[in-house]
Amino acid sequence: MSGEGRILRRPYCLKQSGLHCRLNELPEERVAKVIAESLETVGLKDKANQNVSTFSKGMKQRLAIADILVKTPKLAFLDEPTSGIDPEA
């Protein structure tokens, strides 16, 4: 997961995560809850309706982590997951 390769350029944060839920065949009744939980975990809940193109590199990195979390993996291998993330944010 290096850089911004998995982040779509134009959609809103919520749409991005919803897309990943649907691509991973998450039941529709769970999509909203899982998205809210993953965005809250990475600190982007208040940015759910913001356009991804306005995000900093660190915010895009956190969104990529949220997109991994919506899949509820037992194990995830990440390549430099904190690159560009401000520890104070």
Residue 75, in any domain of the structure:
no
Question: How many domains does one find in the chain?
Answer: 1
Q: How far apart are CA 1 and CA 25, in angstroms?
A: 21
Tell me the CA distances in angstroms from 23 to 14, 67, 85, one per residue in order.
Answer: 14, 11, 26
State the residue range of the domain holding 41: 13-69
Residue 6, in any domain of the structure:
no
Instruction: Identify the pLDDT of residue 1.
Output: 42
Q: Return the SS3 of 45.
A: helix
Q: How many Cβ atoms sit within 10 Å of the Cβ of residue 63?
A: 25
Q: Is the pTM of this model over 0.75?
A: no
Residue 24, in any domain of the structure:
yes
Confidence band for 61, pLDDT divided at 50, 70 and 90: confident
pLDDT in tens, 63-80: 888 888 887 788 888 777
Length reported for the chain: 89
Residue 63, in any domain of the structure:
yes
pLDDT in tens, 6-51: 554 556 666 767 777 777 777 878 878 888 898 899 999 998 888 8
Contact 65, 20 (CB under 8 A): no
